[in-house]
Amino acid sequence: SAKGAGRNRVAIFEMEMDVVAEERRNLELDLRASLAEQEMRLHYQPLVDLKTLRKTGFEALLRWEHPQRGVVMPNEFISVAEETGLIVQLGEWVVRQALEDATQWDESLSVAVNLSPSQMRSTSLVPTIVNALAQTGIAPERLELEITESILMQDSDVNIRTLHSLRDLGVRISLDDFGTGYSSLNYLRSFPFDKIKIDRCFVDEIDSRDDCKAIIKSVISLARNLGMKTTAEGVERQEQVDALRILGCDQVQGYLYGKAEAMDNCTDLRPVEKWVPRVGSASLPVAA
């Protein structure tokens, strides 16, 4: 009967929900154990100065080497870590590990670390950063903390106070994924950020869509008027670099100049190679 079929569909739906819930519980349990099991790794992606084409620093990006699942990417576990509060412990590990790794690099290089909303609210954030800076001897100016607009949406007064205490230490603060939130412009006057990171969704089409180009142009000019630097995220093609340079963007980050990788190549300080388009093995002529 129709009623029977309806009941069956509900039963199947509930079974599927059970599977989803159980999968999430498993992920949470594994995540709880991941630090003790030493399954977390930091990979580093270069940030490149557009004037000199030299690396100015690296962003630390989490990778979870799960014994059964393989490498789990942050988009698959950061939200679970955030919802369960595990992100506080995980984030403190990230800060300590990134600063420790940076002791191996040239002193001209900065290290960027992402912070999530729960971390911002945690009373242990500032002490953790103070201690990690003291223990590693890394100059506070070399540490860049990346936050997103979501941090300014909730508990904004408390979070802005925390941002000021961090900045009083000499640490730099970047606004990540700029342009993807709800009222970006409003957040720009809530705190004097050191840097705006322009989200990849605009950068992707900078050379093919006039509206994306116009938005990036405005953001760069806005940032400059506010005394902030700009980094374009997700740069994959030389044409994007060319357009960004004309618009006066300060830095780029993206697959064109390197994916996030294990620390090994954080010591190569040569300017990044000028990219040459290739078809098969033959190089195309590059316009002068």
Binding site for Mg ion (CB under 5 A): 114, 146, 176-177, 233
Question: What x-and-dash track marks residues 5-44 binding ligand C2E by CB under 6 A?
Answer: ----------------------------------------
- Which one among 21, 73, 134, 169 touches ligand C2E, defined by CB under 6 A? 73
Which residue, 57 or 234, has its beta carbon nearer to ligand C2E? 234
Neighbours of 71 (CB within 10 A): 12
Q: What are phi and psi of 255, to 5 degrees?
A: -60, -25
- Which one among 48, 62, 138, 232 touches ligand C2E, defined by CB under 6 A? 62
Round to whole Å and give the CA distance between 105 and 266. 7
Round to whole Å and give the CA distance between 186 and 102. 34
Round to whole Å and give the CA distance between 140 and 150. 24
Query: Which amino acid is residue 123, in one-letter code?
Result: T
Number of residues that bind ligand C2E (CB under 6 A): 23
- Which one among 194, 207, 236, 261 touches ligand C2E, defined by CB under 6 A? 236
- Which one among 56, 97, 110, 114 touches ligand C2E, defined by CB under 6 A? 114
Round to whole Å and give the CA distance between 35 and 26. 15
Which residue, among 95, 166, 84, has the nearest Cα to 128 in the 3D structure? 95
Partner that binds at residue 271, options ligand C2E, Mg ion, none, CB closer than 5 to 8 Å by kind: none
Which residue, among 52, 196, 46, 199, has the nearest Cα to 110 in the 3D structure? 46
- Which one among 61, 86, 99, 138 touches ligand C2E, defined by CB under 6 A? 61
Which residue, 30 or 234, has its beta carbon nearer to ligand C2E? 234
